[in-house]
Chain A
Amino acid sequence: MPNNTTQERLKAEARGLNFFYNGGIQALKNINMPIYDNRVTALIGPSGCGKSTYLRSFNRMHDLYPGNRYEGEIRFYPDDTNLLAPEVDPIEVRMRVGMVFQKPNPFPKSIYENVAYGLRVRGERNRRMLDDKVEHALRGAALWDEVKDRLQDLASNLSGGQQQRLCIARALATDPELLLFDEPTSALDPIATGAIEELVHELKKRVTILIVTHNMQQAARVSDYTAYMFLGEMIEFGKTDEIFIKPKDRRTEDYITGRMG
């Protein structure tokens, strides 16, 4: 059955992914799923279904806390690295995979320093280079015009929506290949949410995006592909149109029509 899916390039692929939290609770069960290059993939599902856990596996965030354990693989392309392999340094993974969190978490430093931080961590000292990249990242996050005259102001003086775009700029500054969004608009008002959604749409030209959302309209608006998760399992994955118009699985249908969750 030839369809557009076959023409897509793989950016990453979960293969038989299991995840256990410290204490042995299994939060992900045998997840198999492709992530396509320069596409937005949305993860939906009720609270506690494992979508954030799954997202945080892509940048090995679980390694920060002791006792967590992965099984299976997340292949990352074009170099076909297994992101979860013990011999792969989680810091190297995080240098390639950026993340934006649920609540805006700018550092209590200047706007400039927030964006430049990823570059400083990589050892960039050249002032001109830093200035250029900071501007580029802020433009990418649609924030430049609002902050260009006050780059040395504290980031905490920005509004919530601006702070979240600043966090996006911070992640963009280091040119990640994959950008993870963990419910990026759940702490924002509808106008700021609209701005972020527009931005996600714009950003997929530059970077592959994986986004967790509680808001099904948001998934339908911003994503090309959608995965429905339930109780740690991947129930259904497909093109967003197909998932929302004619889901194959009864559980997906129940969830997106609001009968469950």
Chain B
Amino acid sequence: MKPLTTEEIRAVIARGKLKDTLFKALGILCLAFGLFVIVALILDMAIKGSERFTLDFFLNFASRRAAQAGILSAWVGSLLVMFVTALAAVPLGVAAGVYLEEYAPRNWMTQVIEINIANLAAVPSIVYGLLALGIFVYQFGFGQSILSAGLTLALLILPIIIVATREAIRAIPAMIREGSMAVGATRWQTCRYHIIPYAMPGILTGVIIGLARAIGETAPIITIGALTFIAFLPPAPLTALPDGGTAGLFDWVTAPFTVMPIQIFNWTSRPDPAFEINAAAAGFVLMAMVLAMNALAIWLRYRMRKNIKW
């Protein structure tokens, strides 16, 4: 083959670069479209709901008059349910992930378990709601409470946390594990001092992605019977109850509740168009809660990763 002349080489490079430019343009277009949709949605909600962004909106209970209706019970309910969810799902998910990566023998049993964790992540959330209705609400007698809702959503995000934990652990180089074992550490010491701390940024990301998913879930919460109209808060620990007694430390977990997405759903299904303003405003607040959680995750991950270099 005759060697290429300089002109021919330049022509080849130019053809290659044209494709570079085309693909780059296409990529930017796709990205812009996605961003445009989400920004438009958020702006739309913000503009529609703008007249409701007052302190009262956050401090009022639901009401039949749209202008006076607020989201107090909904955002408090969402936060409390998330708290229970995180408390239940994080230890379970992290422990399961650590076990699967660090302890479990590689055999057909663990293969089956691994495949089924992937399956669990794909189960529609309404099915978790049905499961929880049978088990938590009736079998265990937790009732239509914050506890039932929190545990239901914990089940829902458990696979996400397990997968995030495993991926974070896999990213730790084998030489770190070997370095720890080589001085005579047990598996647990290796996990406790190295594997879990170094996997923490990744685990945390998974936890927040899971919680961000859970906070928007509506179907399973409706299934277990959250209220759609509620004009009181769960009793804060050690405060006076209306019946004259004092609330225990954990009375709030058994209280009835509502959450943000249910409140939004409730308002959009009202005939009075004034409630649409409430729905848009609440939607914006929910969106802000999710974005705030993501921001927190990014910040925490950045802080924790700063010191972890191999």
Once the chains bind, are B198 and A108 in contact (CB under 8 Å)?
A: yes
Within 8 A of A (CB), among B175-206: 175-186, 189, 193-194, 198
Once the chains bind, are A91 and B175 in contact (CB under 8 Å)?
A: no
Alpha-carbon gap, A212 to B173, bound state (A): 22
Once the chains bind, are A118 and B179 in contact (CB under 8 Å)?
A: no
Minimum distance in angstroms from B100 CB to a CB of chain A: 14
Alpha-carbon gap, A199 to B27, bound state (A): 55
Once the chains bind, are A117 and B193 in contact (CB under 8 Å)?
A: yes
- Is A121 an interface residue when CB atoms closer than 8 A count as contact? yes
- Chain A minimum-CB-distance residue to B190: A121
Once the chains bind, are A91 and B184 in contact (CB under 8 Å)?
A: yes
Once the chains bind, are A171 and B183 in contact (CB under 8 Å)?
A: yes
Partner of B182 from A61, A66, A92, A154 at Cβ < 8 Å: A61
Q: Say yes or no: A118-B106 contact (C-beta < 8 A), given A101-B175, A105-B179.
A: no
Once the chains bind, are B184 and A167 in contact (CB under 8 Å)?
A: no
Within 8 A of A (CB), among B282-310: 307-310
Partner of A174 from B175, B176, B181, B183 at Cβ < 8 Å: B183
- Is A33 an interface residue when CB atoms closer than 8 A count as contact? no
Once the chains bind, are A91 and B186 in contact (CB under 8 Å)?
A: yes
- Is A10 an interface residue when CB atoms closer than 8 A count as contact? no
Residues of chain B contacted by A171 (CB below 8 angstroms): 182-183
Residues of chain B contacted by A103 (CB below 8 angstroms): 175
- Is A201 an interface residue when CB atoms closer than 8 A count as contact? no
- Chain A minimum-CB-distance residue to B310: A108
Minimum distance in angstroms from A83 CB to a CB of chain B: 13
Minimum distance in angstroms from B285 CB to a CB of chain A: 39
Once the chains bind, are A61 and B309 in contact (CB under 8 Å)?
A: no
Residues of chain B contacted by A99 (CB below 8 angstroms): 182
- Is B134 an interface residue when CB atoms closer than 8 A count as contact? no
- Chain B minimum-CB-distance residue to A173: B183
Minimum distance in angstroms from B306 CB to a CB of chain A: 9
Once the chains bind, are B307 and A61 in contact (CB under 8 Å)?
A: no
Residues of chain A contacted by B194 (CB below 8 angstroms): 107
Alpha-carbon gap, A52 to B286, bound state (A): 57
Size range of the chain B interface in the assembly: 20 to 34
- Chain A minimum-CB-distance residue to B185: A121
Once the chains bind, are B177 and A64 in contact (CB under 8 Å)?
A: yes
Once the chains bind, are A105 and B176 in contact (CB under 8 Å)?
A: yes
- Is B237 an interface residue when CB atoms closer than 8 A count as contact? no
Once the chains bind, are B183 and A121 in contact (CB under 8 Å)?
A: yes
Contact with B along A81-116 (1 / 0, CB 8 A): 000000000011011001101010111100000000
Within 8 A of B (CB), among A213-237: none
- Chain B minimum-CB-distance residue to A110: B307
Q: Say yes or no: A174-B179 contact (C-beta < 8 A), given A121-B189, A154-B307.
A: no
- Is B105 an interface residue when CB atoms closer than 8 A count as contact? yes
Minimum distance in angstroms from A149 CB to a CB of chain B: 20
- Is A59 an interface residue when CB atoms closer than 8 A count as contact? yes
Residues of chain A contacted by B176 (CB below 8 angstroms): 105, 107
Minimum distance in angstroms from A98 CB to a CB of chain B: 7
Minimum distance in angstroms from A13 CB to a CB of chain B: 22
- 20 pairs, A vs B, C-beta closer than 8 Å: A64-B181, A91-B184, A91-B186, A95-B184, A98-B183, A105-B310, A107-B179, A107-B180, A107-B194, A108-B198, A108-B310, A117-B185, A118-B183, A120-B193, A121-B189, A154-B309, A156-B309, A170-B179, A171-B183, A174-B183
A interface residues (Cβ-Cβ under 8 A, vs B): 59, 61, 64, 66, 91-92, 94-95, 98-99, 101, 103, 105-108, 117-118, 120-122, 154, 156, 167, 170-171, 174
